Amino acid sequence: MPLVDTLGRPLRSLRVSVTDRCNLRCEYCMPEQEYVWLSRDDLLHFEELSRLVDVFIGLGVDKIRLTGGEPLLRRNLPQLVELLAEKPLKDLALTTNGMLLEEFAGPLKRAGLRRLNISLDTLQPARFLQLTRQNDLARVMRGIDAASRLFPGIKLDAVILRGVNDDEFEPLLDYGASIGAEVRFIEYMDVGGATRWTSETVVPRREMIERLTTRFGAVTAIEEPGSTAPADRYALPDGRLFGIISSTTEPFCRDCDRARITADGVFFTCLYATDGLSLREAVRGGESLEAVSTLIENRWHARRDRGAEERLEIRDRTAYIPLATLREHPHLEMHKRGG
Ligand code: SAM
């Protein structure tokens, strides 16, 4: 019997955050000047992570995505990829901001990474600086260039903020087409850490489609029966494909088969969940893999999370977690649990 939660959702996909550090300070994710960081001693070692992944695979996981923070800041990350690449997985992917990709695209490919998502919100250097507090768009573009020669089917992920980068649909689509990458437009989410979030800044999926239709002509939705991918995919009249992730205005909790592990081994069953289960002691303290498996199984079995849908029901919605609470409970930050 496959492991399912209270809503019948299987556990298929695991996002592994390998660090909470990041080399950008994106306005929608890490807008503050200071953060409470995980202690280095608490980070799971690669062998511990590998064992934990084996347990998840035993429970039905067949897709792994490495994330963070910025995952390429984790020392020797290709070694972890090498360990994971040997496992029976349908997908082994990484989400990165591209800052270190020029150096790491080759080693990641050689280590066995299959797919890459690169976050790219703007093609304008001054805007990149404004959004990320780093004047490094050229470096990211060199990284994307290096990666696109090695990895087919790269996805470029752009969080769209009204009044900030919502005039870049077309340039991003053009750039994506020029390197054979599919662009995905992401609605601004009020996840933990998005302390500047306002509903006015969100550009809803409906409006994205309207704007793209006005510019290019009728946009066709692509039917993908059985897909649990977060993005809905569309085709422009010229055949170009793109995706929209509408977690804010049209959430898809009912299909969510994703679990998350923070770099220090806390297991979360929803991006919005406030109660994580630390597996670090069990993994580090030499508990049997069966015992660790039972902990995860019980958690998933009891899972009721519909975080994004519950947020949608709130009127006068503002930032999800106040700054003072984030300081006290840093695991509530998006950059701790991985996007
Ligand atoms: N540093 C890596 C990166 O930038 O891709 C991986 C971690 S980052 C938290 C993962 C993804 O989450 C990125 O695509 C980022 O744009 C997205 N993200 C972060 N905060 C978000 C928010 N408030 N709303 C929507 N997406 C967000």
Mean of per-residue pLDDT scores for the chain: 97
Distant-in-sequence, close-in-space partners of 317: CB < 8 Å, separation ≥ 6: 190, 199, 311
Residue nearest to atom 8 of ligand 1 (CA): 339
CA dist., res. 243 & res. 54, Å (int): 31
Measured CA distances, 312 to 220, 248, 249 (Å): 26, 7, 7
Name which of 44, 148, 126, 136 is nearest 99 in CA terms: 136
Name which of 257, 253, 158, 174 is nearest 208 in CA terms: 158
Distant-in-sequence, close-in-space partners of 72: CB < 8 Å, separation ≥ 6: 96, 99, 100, 101, 104
Strands in 155-160's sheet, in edge-to-edge order, are: 220-221, 232-235, 241-245, 182-187, 155-160, 115-119, 91-96, 63-67, 13-17, 258-261, 266-268, 277-278
Which pLDDT does position 227 carry in this prediction? 85
Ligand 1 atom closest to 121 (CA): 16
| Torsion over CA: 279, 281, 287, 289 (sign) | positive
Q: Are 338 and 17 in contact (CB under 8 A)?
A: yes
Q: Return the higher-pLDDT residue of 157 and 337.
A: 157
pLDDT-derived band at 226, boundaries 50, 70, 90: confident
Q: Is the CB of 18 under 6 A from ligand 1?
A: no
CA dist., res. 23 & res. 54, Å (int): 30
For the stretch 158-207, pLDDT in tens is: 999 999 999 999 999 999 999 999 999 999 999 999 999 999 999 999 99
With 90 as the cut, is the pLDDT of residue 1 above it? Answer: no
Q: Is the CB of 82 under 6 A from ligand 1?
A: no
CA 238 to ligand 1 centroid distance, Å: 29
Q: Is the CB of 143 under 6 A from ligand 1?
A: no
Residue nearest to atom 2 of ligand 1 (CA): 96
Helix (H) or strand (E) holding 101: helix 101-111
CA 214 to ligand 1 centroid distance, Å: 28
For the stretch 72-89, pLDDT in tens is: 999 999 999 999 999 999
With 90 as the cut, is the pLDDT of residue 138 above it? Answer: yes
For the stretch 274-322, pLDDT in tens is: 999 999 999 998 899 999 999 999 999 999 999 999 999 998 999 999 9
CA dist., res. 113 & res. 107, Å (int): 9
pTM for the model stands at 0.97
Ligand 1 atom closest to 29 (CA): 20
Strands 232-235 and 220-221: antiparallel
Q: Is the CB of 29 under 6 A from ligand 1?
A: yes
Q: Are 256 and 270 in contact (CB under 8 A)?
A: yes
Name which of 258, 326, 131 is nearest 335 in CA terms: 326
Residue nearest to atom 11 of ligand 1 (CA): 339
With 90 as the cut, is the pLDDT of residue 225 above it? Answer: no
